[in-house]
């Protein structure tokens, strides 16, 4: 994400988002819809809860032997005629794609939606190398036209209203288009058809990769994934190493809960299973298939604090229910992956220092954990992350001093009692109709928008004497 | 006749300093139900603010102190879902390095209950002798709902009060935006979340908003009085003890 954006402190980025009327309108509508659809989908699916447990167990077990599963996946992909590349970093992954483009004279690449490619800023690298990347997922297409970044894991243009999209299309695609989703989709489809036919390379992510069979699985809703994987002469799939699952029977478990969690669908409209390049006698498919296995900070978390974040299916359910995400949207977070899981993934990919502020962008309400298809305990991990920030002295020293002083207060009943008395004295000038308003310093952060009850004339402890 | 149930009150820091009337209501309510109430005076806070912000070593010191303080209590009753959650769910882990303390923490976890759960599970209360007139609505505190899995006890108790008309709050299970230090770390976001909550509250037409957590009551009550709302934020104990004035 742009360094310029990150120079603004997170609270200010969040504040600006709160003031953005378009964003507020778009977010409320979309997240509410997602929440309702998910709820409905699981309400009508009694097996769902047990499948979520199964899915979690599969992820847990797979990570125990990740190396074995990855080797098997690689062997099977190569047996099918594909080429496997191992990328330790985002930069290595970009280099692999760019080299392929150079060697094969690629001038245009069509892409289906992929957060992994966002993670490594692939589009910028391609453009820089003279290759034109074209996003073909409608949401991604919209934000590419707008020169923006996705603000949601599965709904990248969630921050835009249909009115804004109509304006954008009218300007960028030269026309007069109404704010009618059906018309706008038709416009995009027409523009994209040509690109599919022109492109030399198709770039995708992978929702899953099945080790036993060497199958890369794409879950999409628009059919663009099929075009990207079958029309261009080269298909490159980029996946985080945690996306491997052992077998096709495991895939069934994940497919049953992924779309339900994401969009409330039983299955997405398209589930594309890709096994290597076109074989002799086949009528369609690419001549070459490349699978890039991306580490980029993942492997070192397998035995560490953020381990559970590696279970993530990227369904976006935790974003939709997060009270913070629902207010500020994805861009304010400042990194590729927004929302509660995004904070953890950012720590994983960019290090703990990058989430010094973000680690606190959660009220720890637990709604994310409740809806996560693999039950990632996000609130607990956020708390653990905060613990690391203290231990690694990344948390501001002022904060650490304040909390240590607070601890001393709580360890001494006498000091605690005295603090009530001190509070009563100090609060006097600020009592209005029995409530505190206009408090100074840190307390002002509360009283700017809310009243605070005053420290009671007699605390419970003081009243207990007569209750006894 | 069976020996009376004895319960120690864990008043919580916010309850002690800002909402003593909730504690008083709780004492009257429990005594009215034949419970012998005790108040270990050395108590301060459960340490959750330290724990949630990542100061775990510090929180463990508070936990060790609290565990000892309540060692002899037959039952511990807490008027706050989040503090009860802290004691029940987090204390054993925080004290895991000292086997004796850990065992004591596990014992305390078993003996500790949030008020509505204590009333229903331990005392088997389904209705209390109280009165109230009018509509109330109920907000599910995050830690009581998702942390302790409780959504029915407070509602059942409210329905058991003659004169109470319980109206469901749209989005009752959504956070009020308090979140402890979150409310001052990101005050604008916290307040934006609160605004949506309060709009829902006011739309119910209730005269009282009931919750079982001092944190949520501080946040929602502070928002309600600031906007000059007619809705009053009250604790479940106050309704059950018949102490909500008209």
CA A448 → CA B183, B223, B231, B233, distances in Å? 12, 10, 20, 19
User: Judged by CB atoms within 8 Å, which residues 110-149 of B form the interface with A?
Assistant: 142-143, 146-147
Is B179's CB within 8 Å of A363's CB? yes
Which CATH number does the domain B134-240 belong to among 3.40.50, 3.40.1130, 3.60.21, 3.30.60? 3.40.50
CA separation for the pair A199, A183 (Å, rounded)? 25
ipTM given for this complex: 0.96
Contacts of A426 (CB under 8 A, 6+ apart): none
* pLDDT computed for residue B149 by the predictor: 98
CA separation for the pair A181, B199 (Å, rounded)? 30
Output the six-digit token pair for A194: 């040509």
Is A389's CB within 8 Å of B41's CB? no
**How is chain A split into domains, by residue range?**
3-299, 412-467
Tokens 């079982």 found at: B212
Number of other CB atoms surrounding residue B152 within 10 Å = 11
For the beta sheet containing A215-220, the strands, ordered from the edge strand earlier in sequence to the opposite edge, are: A244-245, A208-210, A215-220, A270-274
Q: Tell me which chain A residues have a C-beta less than 8 angstroms from the C-beta of B182.
A: 360, 362-364
Is B174's CB within 8 Å of A362's CB? no
| Largest Cα–Cα separation, chain B | 56
- In tens, the pLDDT along A346-357 reads 999 999 999 999
Segment (H or E) for B142 = helix B142-142
Strand A201-204 with A108-111, pairing: parallel
Is A458's CB within 8 Å of B20's CB? yes
Strand A108-111 with A132-135, pairing: parallel
User: Collapsing DSSP states into helix, strand and coil, what is residue A337?
Assistant: coil
- Distance to chain B for A75, nearest Cα, Å: 43
Chain A to chain B Cβ contacts (< 8 Å) = 191
Is A446's CB within 8 Å of B146's CB? no
Which CATH number does the domain A3-299 belong to among 3.40.50.10420, 3.40.50.2300, 3.40.190.10, 3.60.21.10? 3.40.50.10420
Q: Is the pLDDT of residue B154 over 70?
A: yes
Task: Taking residues A431-444, report their average pLDDT.
Answer: 93
Residue A172's Cβ-count burial label (10 Å; 0-12, 13-18, 19+) is middle
User: Judged by CB atoms within 8 Å, which residues 173-232 of B form the interface with A?
Assistant: 173-175, 177-194, 218-219, 221-223, 225-226
CA A468 → CA A26, A98, A287, B237, distances in Å? 56, 78, 85, 18
Q: Is the pLDDT of residue B152 over 90?
A: yes
- In tens, the pLDDT along B187-231 reads 999 999 999 999 999 999 999 999 999 999 999 999 999 999 999
User: Judged by CB atoms within 8 Å, which residues 28-67 of B form the interface with A?
Assistant: 39, 41-45, 47, 49-56, 58, 61-62, 65
- Distance to chain A for B82, nearest Cα, Å: 10
Confidence band (pLDDT; 50, 70, 90) for B245? Answer: low
CA B214 → CA A419, B26, B160, distances in Å? 19, 13, 22
Number of other CB atoms surrounding residue A223 within 10 Å = 14
* pLDDT computed for residue B53 by the predictor: 97
Rounded mean pLDDT of chain A?
A: 96
Its pTM stands at 0.96
Angle between helices A397-411 and B56-69 (to 10 degrees): 10
Radius of gyration of chain B (CA): 18
CA separation for the pair B40, B28 (Å, rounded)? 17
Q: Tell me which chain B residues have a C-beta less than 8 angstroms from the C-beta of A443.
A: 184
- In tens, the pLDDT along A77-128 reads 999 999 999 999 999 999 999 999 999 999 999 999 999 999 999 999 999 9
Rounded mean pLDDT of chain B?
A: 96
- In tens, the pLDDT along B8-38 reads 999 999 999 999 999 999 999 999 999 999 9
């Amino acid at each position: 994400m742009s360094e310029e954006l990150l120079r603004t402190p997170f609270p200010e980025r969040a504040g600006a988002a709160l003031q953005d009327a378009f964003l507020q309108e778009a977010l409320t509508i979309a997240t509410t819809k997602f929440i309702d659809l998910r709820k409905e989908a699981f309400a009508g699916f009694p097996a769902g809860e047990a499948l979520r447990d199964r899915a979690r167990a599969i992820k847990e077990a797979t990570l125990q032997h990740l190396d074995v599963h990855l080797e098997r996946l690689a062997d099977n992909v190569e047996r099918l005629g594909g080429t496997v590349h191992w990328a330790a970093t985002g930069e290595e992954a970009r280099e692999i794609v760019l080299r392929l483009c150079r060697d094969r004279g690629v001038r245009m690449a069509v892409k289906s939606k992929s957060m992994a490619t966002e993670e490594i800023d692939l589009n910028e690298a391609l453009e820089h190398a003279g290759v034109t990347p074209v996003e073909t997922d409608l949401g991604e297409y919209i934000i590419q036209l707008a020169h923006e970044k996705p603000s949601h894991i599965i709904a990248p243009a969630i921050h835009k209203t249909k009115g804004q999209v109509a304006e954008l299309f009218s300007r960028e695609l030269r026309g007069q288009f109404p704010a009618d989703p059906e018309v706008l989709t038709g416009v995009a489809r027409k523009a994209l058809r040509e690109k599919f036919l022109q492109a030399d390379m198709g770039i995708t992510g992978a929702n899953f990769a099945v080790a036993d069979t060497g199958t890369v699985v794409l879950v999409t809703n628009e059919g663009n994934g099929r075009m990207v994987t079958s029309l261009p002469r080269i298909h490159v799939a980029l996946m985080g190493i945690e996306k491997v699952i052992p077998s096709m029977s495991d895939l069934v478990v994940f497919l049953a809960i992924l779309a339900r969690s994401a969009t409330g669908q039983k299955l997405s409209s398209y589930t594309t299973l890709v096994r290597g390049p076109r074989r002799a006698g086949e009528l369609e498919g690419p001549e070459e298939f490349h699978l890039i296995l991306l580490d980029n900070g993942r492997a070192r978390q397998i035995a560490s604090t953020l381990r559970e974040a590696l279970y993530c299916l990227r369904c976006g359910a935790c974003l939709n229910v997060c009270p913070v995400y629902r207010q500020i949207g994805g861009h304010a977070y400042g990194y590729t992956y927004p929302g509660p899981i995004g904070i953890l993934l950012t720590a994983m990919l960019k290090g703990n220092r990058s989430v010094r502020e973000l680690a606190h962008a959660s009220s720890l309400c637990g709604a994310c954990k409740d809806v996560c298809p693999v039950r990632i305990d996000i609130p607990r991990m956020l708390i653990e992350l905060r613990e690391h920030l203290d231990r690694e002295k990344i948390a501001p020293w002022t904060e650490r001093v304040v909390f240590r002083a607070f601890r001393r207060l709580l360890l001494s009943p006498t000091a605690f009692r005295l603090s009530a008395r001190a509070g009563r004295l100090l609060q006097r000038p600020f009592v209005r109709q029995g409530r505190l308003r206009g408090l100074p310093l840190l307390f002002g952060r509360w009283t700017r928008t809310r009243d605070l009850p005053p420290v009671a004339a007699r605390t419970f402890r003081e009243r207990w004497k007569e209750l006894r | 006749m069976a020996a009376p149930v004895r319960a120690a009150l864990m008043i919580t820091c916010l309850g002690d300093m800002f909402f003593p009337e909730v504690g008083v209501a709780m004492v009257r309510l429990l005594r009215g139900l034949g419970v012998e109430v005790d108040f270990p005076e050395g108590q301060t806070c459960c340490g959750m603010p330290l724990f949630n912000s990542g100061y775990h070593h510090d929180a463990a010191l508070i936990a060790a102190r609290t565990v000892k303080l309540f060692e002899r209590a037959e039952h511990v009753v807490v008027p706050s879902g989040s503090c009860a959650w802290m004691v029940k769910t987090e204390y054993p882990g925080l004290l895991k390095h000292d086997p004796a303390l850990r065992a004591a923490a596990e014992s305390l976890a078993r003996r500790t209950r949030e008020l509505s759960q204590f009333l229903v599970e331990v005392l088997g209360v389904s209705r209390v002798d109280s009165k109230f007139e009018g509509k109330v609505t109920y907000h599910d505190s995050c830690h009581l709902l998702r942390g302790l899995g409780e959504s029915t006890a407070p509602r059942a108790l409210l329905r058991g009060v003659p004169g109470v008309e319980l109206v469901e709050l749209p989005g009752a299970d959504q956070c009020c935006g308090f979140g402890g230090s979150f409310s001052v770390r990101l005050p604008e976001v916290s307040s934006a979340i609160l605004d949506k909550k309060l709009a829902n509250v006011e739309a119910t037409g209730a005269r009282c908003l009931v919750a079982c957590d001092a944190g949520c009551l501080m946040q929602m009550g502070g928002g309600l009085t600031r906007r000059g709302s007619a809705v009053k934020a009250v604790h479940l104990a106050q309704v059950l003890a018949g102490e909500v004035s008209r």
